[in-house]
Amino acid sequence: MVTMADSAPAPLATALDLTDRVVIVTGGTKGVGRGITERFLEAGAHVVVTARNAPETPLAWGDRSASFVAADIRDPDQTAAVIAAATEAHGRIDVLVNNAGGSPMAEAASASPRFSESIVKLNLLAPLYLSQAANAVMQDQDTGGSIINIGSLSGLRPSPWSAAYGAAKAGLLNLSQSLAIEWAPKVRVNVVSGGYILTEQAELHYGDDAGVARVAATVPLGRLASPTDIGDACLYLASPLARHVSGANLAVHGGGEAPPFLAAADLR
């Protein structure tokens, strides 16, 4: 039976206080993942980070530190071990952020089957495996849980020279919407689709400082996103403020991309 208490808002002053909540962030040692990790630490959460390699510098905010579990999340057995380790250490899982992903540039015409399979495994199947394992824990909790999948602008429009990546991210959005229906009402599933983001590896995608500036100039808000911008969106979706948000795609892209015809027709 649904009651008004089910939709009662949390006090605004404490809505973003996630003290003692347990959060797993994949690929949380650098770049966007590190920004997400630091934001949840600042909110008071216990954060478990997983990646293939340990962080080069400590993952901490103030007196709070994230714990680390090494894993290749493309392997279902290793993803299950991550969920088991977090549950054993903390007794619960409140939030899973499937952040790990990415792809080098590759022409679709010459990409090998092994390459394409690896990209799809990392960006689509790994989030599915982790979500399945986390959902099994969350469904047994009175408070359920929240799963946040990090998508990409590449999954919302053509993705030349990263076709497998774009297709995987498009699939991740559909997967998230499907899981949001299957796993409700206990577990909310949402997507944060990032646009152009300034990380340690920005030069691989945008070139030198001048290239970054040119790309930033195409963004309506006039700059690339920061990892903290993505972290803020995740914090919102994990919080009581998003208690009635599930199956949604929160685009954090600074306004998106202007239609190319505007520049070609010289209408601006």
Would you name the residues annotated as active-site residues?
165
Q: How far apart are CA 63 and CA 83, in angstroms?
A: 24
Helix 31-42, helix 227-238: angle, nearest 10: 50
- ∠ CA 66-67-69 to the nearest 5 degrees? 135
121 touches 128 (CB < 8 A): no
88 touches 70 (CB < 8 A): no
Residue with tokens 């090998």: 112
Which letter, b or e, does each residue of 68-97 get, where b requires 16 or more Cβ atoms within 10 Å of its Cβ?
bbebebbebebbbbbbebbbeebebbbbbb
